[in-house]
A and B are shown apart, each in its own frame.
Chain A
Amino acid sequence: MKKVVLLFSLVLLVSCFDHSVSVVGDKRMQVSGNILDAQNTPLGNINVIASGSESTIINAWPEEILGEGFTNASGEFSFVSLDTDNSFYGISINHPDHQDYDIDYATLHFLDSIGSRGNSFELVNIKLPKTQRFELKIENTTAREDTLFYRFTYPATEVYQGLNSNSFDENSFRFQTETEYWNRLLPGEDEITIVTPTLANSSIQFKYKFSAEAVYDTINVEITPENPVYEFNF
C-alpha cells in the first residue's frame, strides 16, 4: 500500500512540474529574414527554429518547436510558425540542438516574453559570426607553492537578444554576450587545460592572482584561427 501511495505521489509531483507549450488557435505567424557572415556573404543551409519555452532558456526540444526553416543559397529564410500563450517565444538561428547545427557558426536567440505578439517577424541582415576552438593551458613550471586564482572572459558563442526592443530589460543576465570562467590551481597541481568554443578573431581577457586578497593582473589575448592556444606558465 505504501508503494502505491509513493508511486501516486511521484506521478502527482511529476505532473505538477510538467509544462506543455500551449498553442494559440486561429493564428499563424511568418518568420523571415536573411543571414550573413562577417564579410556580408549570405549563409545557406542554416537552421532557424521558432519554439516555446517554459524559461528564458530556449532548448528547442522537439515538443517545444513551433516552426522551422532553413536559409537558401541567398541566405534568406521564411517559414510559418505557431504562437504560444503560456510560454516564452523564441527564434533561434543555428540552434546547437538541431541535427543540422553548423559548429563553425555562432547561435543567436531572439527571445520574446510570455503574452501576445504580432503575426510576422522579419530578421534582416543578421550577422552570424564564425566560431573557433580556444585552448587555455596553465602550467606550474617552477613548482611554486602558491594557489593560482584565475578567471577568463571570452565572447559567448550562444547569444540572446530581445525579439522586440521592449520585451526585456536588455541588461538582464540572459542577454550577456560574454562568458566568464573562474577556478584555481592548488599547490601540487602541475597543469590544467581548458578547451572552449568562442568567437573567431576575438579577444579574451585572462586574469590571475596568487592570493585571495590580491588584485587580479589582466592579460588580453587575441584569438585567431591560426592562434587558438594561450599558454600561461608560472
Chain B
Amino acid sequence: MNSTFKLFLFAILFPLSLTAQDSIPEPHPNQYVATDPETVFFVGEFFRGYSVNNSSWENYSQLGFGLDFNWFVLPFLTIGGEYSLMGGNLKGEDINNTGAVKGITSHYLGLHLGYYHAFNKEWNLHTLAGFGEVNNVNRAPDSRFTEDGNSLILRSELGYRFDKTAAIFIKATLRWDRMDIDTPPTLDDYFNKQSFLLLGFGVRLHLQNPNG
C-alpha cells in the first residue's frame, strides 16, 4: 500500500470518526444550515478513476460523471441517492489481460448516508458511505454484453459555499465493486474485485424550505 493511497484513505476515513459523538452538535453560527429538515441539495460532478488494486479495470481509462441527491434528515445527517456513469476505453491495443473487451460503460445506482460538517460559513465537509448496484456494459468487437455486481462507496467532499444556494466541491471516493463473473480461480480477484479511487469536482445546488 503506497503512501498516496494511505493518505487518501486517511482523508476519507478520518472524517467518519467525527460522527461518533454523544450529542448532536449545534450548527456553526455561520453555517448555511436551515433548521428545517426538509432542506435538500443536488449535486453534479465529474471524476476520474484510478484502479487501487490489481484488477481488469486498470487496462481502461476511467472518466465519468455523477448526479446526486441529498436530504438533510438532521442538520448534520444526510441520506440520498446517486447515479454515476464511468466510461472506460482500452488503453492501447493489448487485450492479453482483458479478452476482446474494447470498452466498458459502468452504471452505478445507489443510496448513501452522509455526515455534513460546516467548518465555517463557506467551508464544509460532506462524508458519505453508501452501497449500490453496478451494471457494466462491455463492448466486444461484434457484440455487447452486460455484467452486474454490487458496490460499496466511501466518499469525502470538501465544499465551498458561495451563498445559501450554490457551492462547489472536490471529492475523493473509494469504491469497491464486487462482480459475479465465472473465471478460473487465478483470475477471480482480477475480474470480480474492483477497487477504485475516484477523484473529482462538482457543483451543488442547495434548496431550502425555511418556513416548513
| A contact residues vs B (CB 8 Å cutoff) | 20-30, 62-70, 79-82, 119-120
B187 within 8 A of A: yes
Across-interface contacts of A30 in B (CB, < 8 A): 183-184, 186-187
Across-interface contacts of B142 in A (CB, < 8 A): 20-23, 63-64
Residue from the list A24, A65, A69 in contact with B141, Cβ < 8 A: A65
Give chain B interface residues in 72-127, CB to chain A under 8 Å: 95-101
A23 touches B145 (CB 8 A): yes
Q: Using CB atoms, name the residue of chain B closest to A82.
A: B99
Q: Using CB atoms, name the residue of chain B closest to A84.
A: B143
Sample (16) of A-B pairs whose CB atoms are under 8 Å apart:
A21-B143, A22-B142, A23-B140, A25-B146, A28-B191, A30-B183, A63-B141, A64-B141, A65-B100, A65-B141, A66-B140, A68-B96, A80-B95, A80-B187, A82-B99, A82-B101
Q: Using CB atoms, name the residue of chain A closest to B191.
A: A28
Given contacts A64-B141, A80-B95, A80-B187, 18 further A-B contacts (CB under 8 A): A20-B142, A22-B143, A26-B179, A26-B180, A27-B183, A28-B187, A29-B99, A63-B141, A63-B142, A66-B99, A66-B100, A69-B96, A80-B97, A80-B99, A81-B100, A82-B100, A119-B183, A119-B184
CB distance from B188 to the nearest CB of A (A): 10
The number of chain B residues with a CB under 8 A from chain A is 24
Q: Using CB atoms, name the residue of chain A closest to B182.
A: A27
CB distance from A91 to the nearest CB of B (A): 13
Across-interface contacts of B138 in A (CB, < 8 A): 23, 25
Across-interface contacts of B181 in A (CB, < 8 A): 26-28
B182 touches A26 (CB 8 A): yes
Alpha-carbon distance between A179 and B145 when the two chains are bound, in angstroms: 40
CB distance from A71 to the nearest CB of B (A): 12
Q: Which 10 A-B pairs have the closest CB atoms?
A: A25-B145, A120-B184, A82-B99, A63-B142, A63-B141, A80-B99, A27-B182, A79-B96, A23-B140, A20-B142
B191 touches A68 (CB 8 A): no
**Taking A20-B143, A23-B143 as contacts, is the C-beta distance between A81 and B183 under 8 angstroms?**
no
Contact flags (1/0) for B124-147 with A, using CB distance below 8 Å?
A: 000000000000001011110111
Number of A-B contacts (CB under 8 A): 78
**Taking A69-B96, A119-B184, A120-B184 as contacts, is the C-beta distance between A24 and B145 under 8 angstroms?**
yes
Alpha-carbon distance between A70 and B96 when the two chains are bound, in angstroms: 8
B140 touches A82 (CB 8 A): yes
Alpha-carbon distance between A124 and B140 when the two chains are bound, in angstroms: 28
Across-interface contacts of A120 in B (CB, < 8 A): 184
Alpha-carbon distance between A22 and B129 when the two chains are bound, in angstroms: 38
* Interface-centre pick from B100, B101, B147, B183 (highest chain A CB count, 10 A): B100
Alpha-carbon distance between A210 and B45 when the two chains are bound, in angstroms: 84
CB distance from B137 to the nearest CB of A (A): 10
Across-interface contacts of A62 in B (CB, < 8 A): 141
Alpha-carbon distance between A187 and B179 when the two chains are bound, in angstroms: 72
Q: Using CB atoms, name the residue of chain A closest to B188.
A: A28
Across-interface contacts of A69 in B (CB, < 8 A): 96
Alpha-carbon distance between A218 and B97 when the two chains are bound, in angstroms: 51
A28 touches B183 (CB 8 A): yes
**Taking A20-B142, A24-B145, A64-B142 as contacts, is the C-beta distance between A119 and B98 under 8 angstroms?**
no
Alpha-carbon distance between A224 and B142 when the two chains are bound, in angstroms: 43
* Interface-centre pick from B96, B147, B181 (highest chain A CB count, 10 A): B96
Alpha-carbon distance between A24 and B180 when the two chains are bound, in angstroms: 13
Alpha-carbon distance between A119 and B192 when the two chains are bound, in angstroms: 15
Across-interface contacts of A70 in B (CB, < 8 A): 96
Across-interface contacts of A27 in B (CB, < 8 A): 181-183
CB distance from A125 to the nearest CB of B (A): 20
A67 touches B183 (CB 8 A): no
A68 touches B184 (CB 8 A): no
Residue from the list A21, A22, A25, A63 in contact with B147, Cβ < 8 A: A25
Residue from the list B95, B180, B182, B186 in contact with A67, Cβ < 8 A: B95
